[in-house]
Structure 1
Amino acid sequence: MCFDTEVIGNATLYHGDALEILPALQGGFAAVLCDPPYCSGGVTVAEKARDTSSKYQSSEHKGLYPEFAGDARDQRSFLTWSMLWLGRARALAAPGALIAVFSDWRQLPTTTDALQCAGWVWRGIIPWDKTESSRPQKGRYRHQAEFVIWGTNGARPFAGPIAPGAFRMPIPRPKHHMAGKPVALMEGLLMPVEGAVLDPFMGSGTVGLACAARGLPYVGIEFERAYFEIAKARLKQWRSDCPAETT
């Protein structure tokens, strides 16, 4: 099977569906770090089927970023889909490899279930405090945190750097994706990693930039053509801006 592929330094980017591309990859990844679509906006089928910009952005920001697919699944199909990609990712992971998967509060229980159903050993939850830059809600508590569910592919020795168990940093401004996250956050999550990193939901390439900064090989997969092109451009710009890191 032939996929649209771009190689930029030690990063390899694929355009297509992760469920189709993952079985075609070579294994041995030291870590899986990704931000899949949460499918958490709305409760009814009609609400979930709305554009992602309508679900996750205020009206004044609508249209700033391309839409992304895969966010309209109901809870049962989200669990099944998550088990599928998590299982295929684990098949590519080295023994003891790390996995770190983003989630919001609504999908936190389902994602921890899916991780374990796919055969990973669930090790904990890392909160990302988005600071007071997150959207306020009058008369309610601010939704100020997202979460990283992490685990390992079987046993992992107690060796190597110690990474933080929580992060506090604001949402990046400007963003390249409506669900964009800071490059520094991804760099922090990669602290214990030595080896190639797999990212089945590349988005705008934030994990790829963190891998480039840390000198780690990277494989990213993105379904949406618009975000695939944004990720390519960002990684090419990074190499142009940091020539000393590319020799």
Structure 2
Amino acid sequence: MNTPVTIGPATLYRGDALAILPHLEGSGFDSVLTDTPYSSGGQFRSDRVLDTRSKYVSSSSAGRNLPDFSGDNRDQRAFCYWAALWSAAALHACRPGAVGMFFTDWRQLPASTDYMQAGGWVWRGIVPWCKPDARPQLGRFTAQCEYVIWGTAGAMPANPAGMALPGFYECPAPRDRVHVTQKPVELLHALLRVVPVGGVVVDPFMGSGTAGVACLQTGRRFVGIELDPVHFDNACERINDAHRQGVLFAPANDAPEQVRLTLE
């Protein structure tokens, strides 16, 4: 396993999640928050080997210039088997009661709720993320939502902040992005409310590091894993920027608590 990069409260590994997660077994993570490759769309093998940018951005979008990413061309059975393996390995790295939150889309939603349970998680529900700026489709319903399937490592603990959380979030997709499927950091801020302030979040498919940025901005610690060297470097840069800003602008007393109160 490669030596990780440490940036403040973040530890970042470059490599395959299935190779690295077993080394983290027993770490006692408080949450797994990740946006895995969906392997979504395309009925035939020829469709699935296309550049991922042809699937996720329009031909006129600036996103066509962003780097490609790997792991998005599995068929349904291979996707389920692979995802059950990594989700089980992630579970073994978590403490009892930890929360798992995994992004997916409408095509892979049934398979994703299956692999979460096959990995040993107790499936708790589905949280839709509605994109108000989604591309309309004439004559059919707009595919306006992506989804977060969520569950726990065993029994569900009480919410540490004692507050009721929404079951639906509306937030535009980020316009200035460095990854084709980058999620809005504001959305991840909201999802992280289910994780105790000061807790440790692991993301086995870190991409450009948005989960890490959100963790540092809200007073959580972060462990990220990313296979692609270009995306890993982007994640390091973004997380380092978030750490520097936190050091510069955090109050002198208990900074994580102050961030938590701001979110509430």
For residues 235 and 250 of structure 2, what CA distance do their matches in structure 1 show?
A: 18
User: In the aligned structure 1, how far is the partner of 2:87 from the partner of 2:104?
Assistant: 14
Tell me what 1:179 maps to. 181
Matches within 5 A, 1:131-150: 131=132, 133-150=133-150
In the TM superposition, residue 43 of structure 1 has moved relative to its aligned partner by 1.2
SS in 2 for 1:81: helix
Aligned-pair distance for 1:244? 3.1
Alpha-carbon separation, structure 2, partners of 1:53 and 1:159: 38
- Indicate conservation of the 8 Å contact 1:9/1:246, yes or no: no
Match of 1:201 in 2: 205
Alignment: residue pair count: 245
Q: What secondary structure sits across from 2:101 in the alignment?
A: strand
What are the Cα deviations for residues 138-167 of structure 1, in whole angstroms up to 9, with x where unaligned? Answer: 222111100000000000233423322110
Q: How far 1:41 moved relative to its partner? A: 2.4
Query: C-alpha separation between the residues in 2 aligned to 1:83 and 1:36?
Result: 12
CA shift digits 1:98-128 (9 cap, x unpaired): 0000000000000100111111000000000
* Unmatched 5+ stretches in structure 1: none
RMSD: 1.4
8 Å Cα contact 1:130-1:171 kept in structure 2? yes
User: Any gaps of 5 or more consecutive residues in structure 2?
Assistant: 253-264
Identify the residue that residue 68 of structure 2 maps to in structure 1: 67
Is residue 10–residue 221 contact of structure 2 (8 Å, CA) maintained in 1?
Answer: yes
Is 1:89 the counterpart of 2:64 in the alignment? no
Q: Percent identity at matched positions?
A: 47
Residue equivalent to 1:234:
238
Give 2:240's aligned amino acid: K
Which residue is 2:168 aligned to?
A: 166
Amino acid at match of 1:154: G
Question: Under a length normalisation based on structure 2, what TM-score does the superposition of the two structures give?
Answer: 0.89
The equivalent of 2:121 in structure 1 is 120
Letter in 2 for 1:163: L
Specify the alignment match of 1:10 in structure 2. 9
Question: Partner amino acid for 1:164?
Answer: P
SS at match of 2:174: coil
1:150-194 deviations in Å (ceiling 9; x for gaps): 000000233423322110010011122111111111111110212
The letter of the residue matching 2:106 is W
Which letter maps to 1:64? N
